[in-house]
Amino acid sequence: MTDALSRLTAALSDRYAIERELGRGGMATVYLAEDLKLHRKVALKVLRPELASALGPDRFLQEIDIAAKLNHPHILGLFDCGEAYGFLYYVMPYVEGQSLRDKLAKEVELPITEAVRILRDVVEALSHAHKHNVVHRDIKPDNVMLSEDHALVTDFGVAKAVSDATGAIGLTTEGVALGTPAYMAPEQAAADPHIDHRADIYAVGVIAYELLTGRTPFVGNTQQELLAAHVTQTPEPVTKYRESVSPVLAELVMKCLEKKAADRWQTAEELLPQLEALATPSAGVTPTGMASVGQMTKRRWFIAGGAVAAIIAVVAVVIGLRRGSEVALDPNHVAVAVFRNATGDPTLDHIGERAGQWITQGLHMAAIPTTPWDQVLHSSEYIQTETDAGRIRDPLRALAEETGAGTVVSGAIYLLGDSIEVQMSVTDAARGRSIGALEPVRATRHATTELIDSARERVMGFFSVRFDSLIPPSARLTGQPPTFEAYKAWNEGDRLYNQQRYREAIPYFRRAAELDSVWAPPLRGLLYAIDNAARSDGGIAHLDSIYELLTKRLYTYPPYDRALGEVLVAVSEGDHERRYQAARRAAQMAPGSRAVFIYAQSANRANRPREAVDALLILDPERGPMRGYVRYWYVLIEALHMLGEHKRELEMARRGSEHHPDGGPAILSLQANALAAMGRVEELNQVLDDMKAAPNIENEVLSLSAAVYVLRANGFTDEARLFAEELIEWFESRLPDVASMRVIRYGYSEAMFLAGRYAEAQSTADSLVLESASVRSSPHRSPGT
């Protein structure tokens, strides 16, 4: 990457001075540069190498030339474009503002008047472009820049050129091949070659929906699910998620989202006056040509054509078969089972596990949605226990239901004299039938690494045929399986970690990382273990060096491991947006896994709580990685609180208590903020009383200070003061026993502050500051202090 930037800098040195990278997207990398001739700041966009190769300079310059002729105050124009040493680039004005995507990341949903104003500017830009026969094809918040009070649409012409080229060569990267799935019109999703300007109208509807509700009309675990939803599902009314949206505006948006292009607004020029009327509302004038929302939701979609039929087939496949347990099995989602050791020699157990891990990594490299290996191991332990107890008869089906994978790779290991043979098969778990048996692989006892590598080659070869050309050769040829000693150390660390014995897990993860420098899971496990052990046992002293090592290795890892590693690096840097983007990629590659939970956590931190809720509701709290995982409820309830859905927040908090009856005061405290937001003080006091009855609840009662803030924020000032006094009374009853616990005394001072007892709060806080300064200056402070 550094070499590429150096070559680019040299190639353009006579015209532009590149200062720094501004961001990366599906099509291009954006740099801030200085125009050396005109002495102005510009945004220099460089197409990704594979797109540049597919387009070629002639086609690229032709499409750019078309877009360059557009001249409108709401279109971000082009200053320059060209080709230099294989780089294709174009230059635009540098806007000192933010993208609409950045604004949504901070605010989730916008004030209605502001949303209408932005939509009006976007539609005005499209109206001008459509009159000049230019269709954008990739209208989305990322391509709308905000400068002062105006919105400017970017990348006209580029999206169409890239779409044509990538469609021709079969690239499938999100946001590149045909557009961006979340904003695609049904005809784009169905690969209709006769797409016209009405696809842009549909995308405007999606953006409008997102600006008003904080979410897009459809969500999906995979691109296929999302594309299928655009073709077959009717979007829920805008007013379901935001009741304050007027019927006129709601119907305008829903008409943009009609499945058939002929039923939408037919031109941007037709839509523009409707938005103008809403931006400057008069006495209840209703925009013309609208069907009511009721009429729209009752409408039946009659879809024909081979391409659309193919999408419907995808929907049928993705939905899978559901049993009474309502488990959806996706045949395009793969799980690799632990290979059974049929040798009678328990010292050979590791071969089956290492083979499963290595095959899983190969599938991740091929971008096939695959259950992460650590989740397979945990599910396998549960399945084995249930099988031994006679409650499970079909372990492969059970693994499929645990993971949501409709395709399962399984195998067994046999001894043949001095050789070991691995036999493998692939099963359609949704239908309970074999897809195919693979040719066995064999090696001597002393060549287990080669044996495991051969097993992966065999499975990858099978899937490359099964999924046509989906798997590139690099996915089958990169790297080596983890060594036996490294795998053994990691496996023991993982076992201890899942027993919440974090400090004991640290040396095993560290040992595995030292033994195998190119294998990702040990380093990731080490960071999680240190973090969960409160960075104790001296771990914090080495934390920076571990993050530095992870950063250096990131780009040597397969995509899934790279995404999870990037999440950790982003957390260490406090970069919530990067963390969110990386977690979302990991979740897409491993649906139904703990990566989806990590994505939900990251969405909350990036102020996208609606996405967090949608992601968590896909997971089953009674199955797979969320079984017994109390943190699931914490993150879900946090997201609902951020959305202001306090009744639902309380409902989920109580459901969490039902799922975790032994959770004690921690799970009970989750109800507090919802009750506080609704002013239900009697119930809030009852929660506090119930918590007081339990021992060792210092940290949980500390969390109730947040409820005082929530009461005050929602106008319940007197109630907040009285509740703070209740907390003070509890703290004073406990202080003699826990006087040495600074965290408790901090909570005590905070409660006094919230009760308006400022002098007392100041006194306690001052003593804590002095003690903390003394601890910091001591050469003998204990780890984790």
Q: To which residue do tokens 């039946």 refer?
A: 300
> From CA 657, how far away is CA 141, in angstroms rounded?
39
Report the alpha-carbon distance of residue 122 to residue 118 in Å, rounded: 6
Provide the token pair at 430. Answer: 């949704």
Question: In sequence order, which residues have a C-beta less than 8 Å from that of residue 51 and are 6 or more positions away?
Answer: 27, 28, 88, 162, 165, 166, 171, 176
Contact 506, 534 (CB under 8 A): no
Q: Report yes or no: 560 and 589 within 8 Å, Cβ to Cβ.
A: yes
Q: Is 138 one of the annotated active-site residues of the chain?
A: yes
Residue 510 in contact with residue 496, Cβ under 8 Å? no
Amino acid at 306: G
* Contact by Cβ (8 Å): 572, 546: no
* DSSP state at residue 370: B
Q: What is the rounded distance in angstroms from the CA atom of residue 670 to the CA atom of residue 682?
A: 16
What 3-state class would DSSP assign to 339?
Answer: coil
Q: Which of 35, 121, 138, 737 is catalytic?
A: 138
CA distances from 219 to 224, 229, 236, 588 (A): 11, 8, 12, 12
Secondary structure of residue 410 in the 3-state scheme: strand
Length of the chain: 785
With helix as H, strand as E and coil as C, how does 386-447 read?
Answer: HHHCCCCCCHHHHHHHHHCEEEEEEEEEEEECCEEEEEEEEEECCCCEEEEEEEEEEEECCC
Q: Closest by alpha carbon to 414, among 340, 338, 337, 481?
A: 340
Q: Are strands 405-416 and 330-336 parallel, antiparallel or unpaired?
A: parallel
- 3-state SS of 47-64? ECHHHHHHHHHHHHHHHH
- Token output for 772: 């903390």
Which residues lie below 8 Å from residue 111, measured CB to CB, with a gap of 6+? Answer: none
What backbone torsions phi and psi does residue 283 show, to the nearest 5 degrees? -75, 70
Residue 394 to residues 388, 593, 596, 714: CA-CA distances in angstroms?
A: 12, 21, 26, 53
List 415's β-bridge partners, or say none.
Answer: 420
**Two tokens, residue 433:** 């039938």
Per the listing, tokens 């995509």 go with 559
The CA distances from residue 112 to 252, 339, 374, 606, in Å, are 13, 56, 45, 22
| Maximum distance among all Cα pairs of the chain, rounded to whole angstroms | 90
The angle that helices 543-553 and 520-532 make with each other, rounded to 10 degrees, is: 150
Active site residues: 138
